[in-house]
Amino acid sequence: MKFNFYAFKAIYLHEMDRFRRTMMQSLFSPVLSTSLYFIVFGSVIGGYVENIDGISYGSYIVPGLIMLTLLTQSISNTSFGIFFPKFNGTIYEILAAPISTFEIVIAFVGAGASKTLIVGVVIFITATFFVEVEVMYPLLMIFLLVLVAFTFALFGFLIGLMSSNFEQMSIIP
């Protein structure tokens, strides 16, 4: 079966448009909450912790905080992206269209991972304002960011499919 790029593009762009419309809660909220962690743990508490092997405490916590945000945003972006059409009943429009299941999954997961990677990059840039950040292995960092974003976006897609109400969506906070 031939891959229907136009169907994939339509679902993907619809999800990315939802990201643009909800910019405050999709981008600024995770960046702000992670920035508070950078301020409290990186700048304030990190000033009292000695450097270990030349690495400051602030630089030590940056990758963990970025990954924490990537994990939660990947799951929540994708699970809400598939659950809300299911909740609204608009999922039937997608299911009635000549789109394969593979294309639907790839579009939702790809959009969820893309949104998460945007958030991760913005958080990384924001971290440079609060703590000194040095990337020793940039290709490994990019590989791990993409791997985590797509893996947990798939996990979020499954959560969104299996959830029948909003309470079940928060099974993974």
Buried b (16+ CB within 10 A) or exposed e, 92-101: eebeeeebee
- pLDDT (tens digit, 9 = 90+) per residue, 109-159? 999 999 999 999 999 999 888 888 888 899 999 999 999 999 999 999 999
**Local confidence band at 173 (pLDDT 50, 70, 90 cut-offs):** low
- Please provide the DSSP assignment of the chain as one string: ----HHHHHHHHHHHHHHHHHTHIIIIIHHHHHHHHHIIIIIIIGGGGSPPBTTB-HHHHHHHHHHHHHHHHHHHHHHHHHHHHHHHHTTHHHHHHSS--HHHHHHHHHHHHHHHHHHHHHHHHHHHHHHS----S-HHHHHHHHHHHHHHHHHHHHHHHHH-SSHHHHTT--
Pairwise CA distance, residues 67 & 147, whole Å = 11
What distances in angstroms separate CA 97 from CA 4, 92, 127, 156, 162, one per listed residue? Answer: 11, 8, 43, 23, 22
Pairwise CA distance, residues 5 & 48, whole Å = 54
Structural tokens at position 131: 């703590």
- One-letter amino acid of 14: H
- pLDDT (tens digit, 9 = 90+) per residue, 62-106? 889 999 999 999 999 999 999 998 988 888 888 888 889 999 999
- pLDDT (tens digit, 9 = 90+) per residue, 42-66? 777 767 778 878 887 878 888 899 9
